[in-house]
Amino acid sequence: MTTSSVRVNGTGSQELGRPPTRHRAVRPPSRFWPAAIAVVVPTALVGAHGWLYGRWIVDDAAITFAYARSIAAGAGPVLQVGAPPVEGYSNPAWMALHVLGSWLGLFDRGTWFGVPDYVAFPKALALVLVAVMFAGFYRVARAVVARPALVTVIAGVLVAATPSFVIWVLSGLENSLLVAVAVWLVALMVPAIASDQIADRYSGATEDGLLGTRLAVWCGLLAAVAALTRPDGVIYAGAFPLVAIVLMRRGQIGRTAAAVAISCVAFVVPFGAYLVWRVATFGEWLPNTAIAKGQQAPTWEAFAQPVELGTYAGWPVIGAAAVVVVAAFVLGGPLRRPMVAVLVPFVLAVAAFTILQADWMVQLRFATPVWALGALLTVLSAAQLAAAFWSGRRLLTAAGVVVLGAAAVSSAPAMWEASVEFTDDPTIGVCVVTEHSGRMVNSYAAALGLPNAAAPNPSVLAPDLGGSAMASKLRLVDLAGLADAQIARFWASENYPAFADHIYDVVKPTFIKAHEFWFSEPGLDEDPRLERDYVEIASHGSFTDYVRRDAITDQAKLDALKVLAETQLVPAVEQVWSLDSCGDRLE
């Protein structure tokens, strides 16, 4: 395919680049260094920003780590070896990368230069994917503007300055993979649309444009990766079809329909194959996590969720960005059609954020693609206005750019405050859970001499699974239901009496980590069977720990355990909160 772009010519007006006439051999300027700078600079800024949050990895990420460990060891898709298969993860593509990392000896093996690989590997992988994302930025910009490196760096700085983006791409979760895929959908479509414009002007139809078979297949496959990265990623299956339909020209109905069909088939084949495997393995069409969270069709109240985006970024910068984007489309020019391929995925990203049930975690965990695509869309629109400035519409465009810059500066204090707030009080990390639901309960069991005849297979009921799945010696029962199909159904149906019967009469966990929400919401704390069958060990933070009375064979051991918990185990948990460190390997 001939590389083409929209350039700013010597007079300052935009034009579609024409392949140079071959009078004599001319060595083209190297594109490596501008591209390298455009990718490395914002990636380094993301890494530097992420340095503020230290070795923090959110505990939910370690659920994926635990499944990756089991699969890499040949135990199958289970939370712990010997546990029944339950799809307690919702990111199979991200998990597959960790399985590969384990097989290569890069993950769940030890340390990287003194840094535990359960921290180093997911963060390094995320930074690689962030670099891939910025490479997508550069590819988009190179196709439509004269200074792609400058556009990429400016958009990259905006992204790197957004705490919500940096926190969650480096959290250990799948955000970095999802945003890289979303951006590369744009990076494939924009050059193809620019190529079509070149062809229309100089040579007629081309097979390498937007409606080409190869592009349709790649867009369908990328959408499948997005859907296998996170459930809401399925929305990106509509990106290519919508762009193709919006940009359809007279006489292209047949070609457009064929391209859309090809893209849909390319999406359905891998994604459908995974669905078939899911039903055969787990007996469900949806991941167990979606069942536990009770994801439902959005209500009218859900459509107010995008307001959170404006509140977070600052309404001045959101308003200014909206004005710049609208002005760029109104002014028209060669960028209008390629910009549709940026706008449509951005709208889909906002729609996914709107549809998803509000998340309890802070810093807008599901907004990652919105920040990246929004920054790219805004900066490309500003580039369009800058081109209009040089072609004579100077007053309007200068005012637009000044307003955008002032709005961006005005949001800086809010971004700094968000960063400091998260640094002081991060979402619960893997090391905290490793200590309080993993090693702490291991110590409980050891102090009471478990397992024993009274409790041959000790278990613990707890709401946090990540770190505990990596470090617990006991059988885990997921109070939140993410990795327990039966408990997930209780949460989804809100059948709390049956929930209590299941816990106290069927599961009968040896230990209970009673969280003030997860335990009290279904009324488990008010059930008389708690006092009848269990005795309190310790209380710390939002948790109260219990042990079954019939697992205690020696009252002296229980008394000693209570002293141990108060003097050593609870302080150890509190220390981990401040140090965020839990050893070289979680095992």
**pLDDT tens digits along 546-574:** 999 999 989 999 999 999 999 999 988 88
- Single-letter residue type at 566: E
Which has the minimum average pLDDT: 17-21, 266-270, 395-399, 477-481? 17-21
* 343 Cβ contact partners less than 8 Å away, ≥ 6 residues apart: 325, 377
Question: Average pLDDT for residues 383-396, to the nearest whole number?
Answer: 63
C-alpha dist (Å) from residue 169 to 47, 123, 164, 174: 10, 8, 9, 7
Which of 13-17, 375-379, 521-525 bottoms out in mean pLDDT, i.e. has the lowest? 13-17
Q: What is the pLDDT of residue 390?
A: 60
Q: What is the pLDDT of residue 396?
A: 47
Residue 203 pLDDT exceeds 60: no
Q: Is 403 helix (H, G, I), strand (E, B) or coil?
A: helix
Q: How many helices (H) and strands (E) does the chain have?
A: 25, 9
User: Tell me, what's the pLDDT at 206?
Assistant: 55
Antiparallel, parallel or unpaired: β 115-116 and 459-462: unpaired
What is the percentage of the chain residues whose pLDDT exceeds 70?
87
* Amino acid letter, residue 439: R
Q: For the chain, give the percent of residues with pLDDT over 90.
A: 66
Q: In the structure, what pLDDT confidence band is assigned to residue 541 with cuts at 50, 70 and 90?
A: confident
Q: Cα(311)–Cα(268) distance, rounded to whole angstroms?
A: 37
- Model pLDDT, residue 391: 54
Give residue 139's pLDDT: 96
Report, as an integer, the average pLDDT of 575-584. Answer: 76
What are 104-159's pLDDT values in tens digits? 999 999 999 999 999 999 999 999 999 999 999 999 999 998 889 989 999 999 99
* Range with the poorest average pLDDT among 14-18, 133-137, 219-223: 14-18
CA pair distance 166, 163, nearest whole angstrom: 5
Per-residue confidence band for 316, with pLDDT thresholds at 50, 70 and 90: confident
Q: Taking residues 214-223, report their average pLDDT.
A: 97
Alpha helices of 109-252 — where are they, by DSSP H? 117-144, 148-160, 163-169, 175-198, 213-229, 239-246
pLDDT at 504 over 70: yes
Confidence of residue 204 (pLDDT cuts 50, 70, 90): low
The confidence band for 200, taking pLDDT boundaries of 50, 70 and 90, is low
**Ranges 172-186, 253-267, 307-321, 431-445: which has the least confidence:** 307-321
Measure the CA–CA gap between 17 and 9, rounded to whole angstroms: 9
